[in-house]
Amino acid sequence: MSNKSITPKQSSELVQNIVDCAIEKKAEKLLVLDVYNLTTLADYFIICSANTEPQIKAICDNIRRGTPHKPWHIEGYEKLSWVLLDYVDVLVHVFRTEEREYYNLEKLWDDAPKKEYDY
């Protein structure tokens, strides 16, 4: 449904790679939403949070270094309260905990199949 830049297999491998990189830097409440059948924006949303700006930066930097693809677009990196890493088929949202609670993206995409990661 989305503007395919990588194959579905590569997309799911990228999701797992991003999850591993985020968990490595202690991302909290990591959630993968499969939005393929709900929107043309992307196939997957990955949502996670952290309590401090240095931790948000560490998570984002580790994802960017640890994935084989470069993000097409990055938004919010300057303020580190909600950073979006856009890999076209995979959108990564790294929130400061308070911002995540306020925007509550999980609720907006409540119909999406989801997988939660606890470490």
- Cα–Cα distance between 119 and 113 in angstroms, integer? 20
For residue range 57-89, list pLDDT tens digits in order. 999 999 999 998 899 999 999 999 999 999 999
Cβ atoms of 75 and 86 within 8 Å: the answer is: yes
Q: 31 - beta bridge partners?
A: 47, 116
pLDDT band at 5 (very low <50, low <70, confident <90, very high): low
Q: Give alpha helix (H) positions in 1-119.
A: 8-24, 53-66, 97-103, 105-108
Can you give the pTM of this predicted structure? 0.90
For residue range 14-62, list pLDDT tens digits in order. 999 999 999 999 999 999 999 999 999 999 999 999 999 999 999 999 9
Give the architecture (CATH level 2) of 24-113: 2-Layer Sandwich (3.30)
Q: 28 - beta bridge partners?
A: 49
Cβ atoms of 93 and 46 within 8 Å: the answer is: yes
Q: Which of 76, 52, 62 is nearest to 23 (CA)?
A: 62
